[in-house]
């Protein structure tokens, strides 16, 4: 195990937890009332399912899968943030968010926190595979 491995493992777990929170908030909101909102309801369910899959992939033993999941998770978090801002400021697919409710704040915090953690995970993962970086010997 390289000396960077514990840091990557910690980043992977933290990233997975943050993405799981994003997914859980979207699932809770879908169950609570978003399932009744045309288009947005489906997007909430897709966000929840995609986030759950990405969270699992972020703790995968496969290096490439973790990196791809980190990139996908950045897209998920950024897309969710942009969607929240649009829904709060105007209308997104005909839906306007009336207030900054607790689930929205929780999602925003998780999304904002996830992005730098995911970027750090990608950087750590790329550095560990770059030429000149010592990899552990295989038995």
Assigned domain for 32 exists: yes
pLDDT in tens, 44-90: 999 999 999 999 999 999 999 999 999 999 999 999 999 999 999 99
How many structural domains compose the chain? Answer: 1
In a domain, 86, yes or no: yes
Is residue 23 in a domain?
A: yes
Q: What CA–CA distances, in Å, run from 86 to 9, 13, 79, 103?
A: 34, 30, 11, 16
Q: Is residue 95 part of a domain?
A: yes
Residue 72 domain-assigned?
A: yes
Share of the chain above pLDDT 90, in %: 80
Q: What is the pTM of this model?
A: 0.86
* Phi then psi dihedrals of residue 2, to 5 deg: -75, 165
Domain that holds residue 111: 5-126
- 134 in any annotated domain: no
The pLDDT confidence band at residue 7, using thresholds 50, 70 and 90, is: low
Three-class DSSP category at 95: strand
Q: Is residue 138 part of a domain?
A: no
Query: What confidence tier does 6 reach under pLDDT thresholds 50, 70, 90?
Result: low
Burial environment of residue 25 by CB neighbours within 10 A (0 to 12, 13 to 18, 19 or more): buried
């Amino acid at each position: 195990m390289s000396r960077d491995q514990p840091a990557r493992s910690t980043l992977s777990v933290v990233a997975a937890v943050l993405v799981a929170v994003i997914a859980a908030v979207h699932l809770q909101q879908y169950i609570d009332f978003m399932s009744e909102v045309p288009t947005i309801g489906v997007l909430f369910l897709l966000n929840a399912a995609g986030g759950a899959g990405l969270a699992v992939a972020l703790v995968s033993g496969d290096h490439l899968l973790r990196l791809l999941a980190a990139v996908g998770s950045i897209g998920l978090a950024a897309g969710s943030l942009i969607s929240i801002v649009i829904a709060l400021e105007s209308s997104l697919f005909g839906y306007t968010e009336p207030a900054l409710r607790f689930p929205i704040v929780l999602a925003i915090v998780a999304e904002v926190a996830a992005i730098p953690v995911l970027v750090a995970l990608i950087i750590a993962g790329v550095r560990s595979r770059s030429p000149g970086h010592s990899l552990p010997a295989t038995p």
